[in-house]
Amino acid sequence: MKGKLLELLAENSSRSLAELAALLHCSEEEVGQAIADLEHDNIITGYYAGINWQKANVERLKAIIELKIKPQSAHGFDAIARKIAAIPEVQTLRLLSGTYDLMVEIDGRTFYEVAGIVSSRLATIEGVESTTTHFMLKTYKENGVLMVGDEHDQRLAVTP
């Protein structure tokens, strides 16, 4: 039941206990207890609203920073990752395979704010060998949800 419950919550975390119970063919009390257990075990770490910031006309600048790291002999990437995770503007931090070792996602208000975080707080951490910053220009799809496409194309048709 827990696996299916997690899938249902990941799909839509605002479902009621009654709806979840009906979908899982069990009681609301069982669902409530399962959710409490998953929260206690830090399997469910939070509940998030999917927001289309472009439609909300809220100024936000999101950047992805790829880092090459020199792992520490006793701790690998973990010690450096803990330092990076402590930076409040860091929203997401992941260990990668491939060319870069860590991927950092930062939310900022301006290009200069993000550049300052990268140059003075990320790049200066001992063990960070290089950074590559990518600024997100437009989101087409996020967490399986299309963010564009409802509007009619305003461009004129090009015909020969």
Residue 73 CA, chain-centre distance (Å), reads 29
User: Across the chain, what does the average pLDDT equal?
Assistant: 90
Residue 68 in domain = yes
For residues 147 and 54, give the distance between their C-alpha atoms in angstroms, rounded to a whole number. 8
Check whether residue 132 and residue 102 sit in a common domain: yes
Question: CA angle, corner 10, sides to 7 and 16, nearest 5?
Answer: 90
Boundaries of domain holding 83: 53-136
Check whether residue 132 and residue 62 sit in a common domain: yes
Tell me what the mean pLDDT of segment 46-72 comes to.
88
Give yes or no for a contact between 62 and 117, defined as CB atoms under 8 angstroms apart: no
Residue 124 in domain = yes
For residues 62 and 68, give the distance between their C-alpha atoms in angstroms, rounded to a whole number. 20
> Number of folded domains in the chain?
2
Check whether residue 10 and residue 59 sit in a common domain: no
Task: Return the CATH number at 6.
Answer: 1.10.10
pLDDT tens column, 5-28: 999 999 889 999 999 999 999 999
Check whether residue 29 and residue 59 sit in a common domain: no
Give yes or no for a contact between 118 and 85, defined as CB atoms under 8 angstroms apart: no
Per-residue pLDDT, 158? 61
Residue 18 in domain = yes
pLDDT tens column, 116-150: 999 999 999 999 999 999 999 988 988 888 888 75
Instruction: With 0.85 as the threshold, say if the pTM is over it.
Output: no
Residue 10 in domain = yes
Q: Is the pLDDT of residue 55 over 90?
A: no
Give kind and range of the element (H or E) at residue 131. strand 128-135
